[in-house]
Homo-oligomer: A and B are copies of this chain.
Amino acid sequence: MATWGTRGLRGSTLEDLINHTNERYKESGLALIQKIPTPIKPINIDKESRHITLAYFDQKSTVDYIGAVQGIPVCFDAKECVSTTFPLQNIHEHQMIFMEEFEKQGGVSFIILYFTGLDEMYYVPFRRLLEYWNRGRNGGRKSFTYEEIDKTYQIHTKHGAYVHYLEMLQKDLDSRD
């Protein structure tokens, strides 16, 4: 299988690849996912050019993406990891709380984790993330490793979707029944 690096997509960010995937999902009616912009509060706007000349980063952001997949509310965050160890400090507590509450509302929360050095992507279900998180909370390591990741949740490219995470979402759903 082609790797991420050999697709002529070097230079594309993980966000670019996911946005492109979401476009394909929209076109094919598989899902409708909204990218949530970074909250920025504009203070001064130049009237002529409509450029913002002063703004602040606003309240804490929650997740990167939120939407609907065939009747199911879905939210997720995209994370990159250069080494084979992912420091949990890269996920903020308010993100964990949001994802947990989203699951309590009958939604599905997960992260898409890209090991850039290995050129591999994984769907990490929220329940797994929460296990790592609680381990750190309870005095354990403040990170999780590539070795710990469930490799059956690897995300592949399919049907023109560079980051075909819906396949793993289905697997996640099946595992809950």
Contact = CB atoms under 8 A, between A and B. Distances in A.
Interface in A57-99: 57-58, 62-63, 66-75, 98
A165 B50 CA distance: 34
Interface stretch (A30-38, A115-123, A127-135, A154-162): A30-38
A128 to B, nearest CB: 20
A48 to B, nearest CB: 14
Interface size, A (range): 35 or more
A73 B62 contact: no
A136 interface: no
Given A32-B101, A52-B52, A68-B105, 19 more contacts: A32-B104, A34-B62, A34-B75, A36-B37, A37-B40, A38-B42, A40-B40, A40-B52, A50-B57, A52-B56, A53-B53, A53-B54, A66-B66, A66-B67, A68-B73, A68-B75, A72-B73, A72-B106, A73-B74
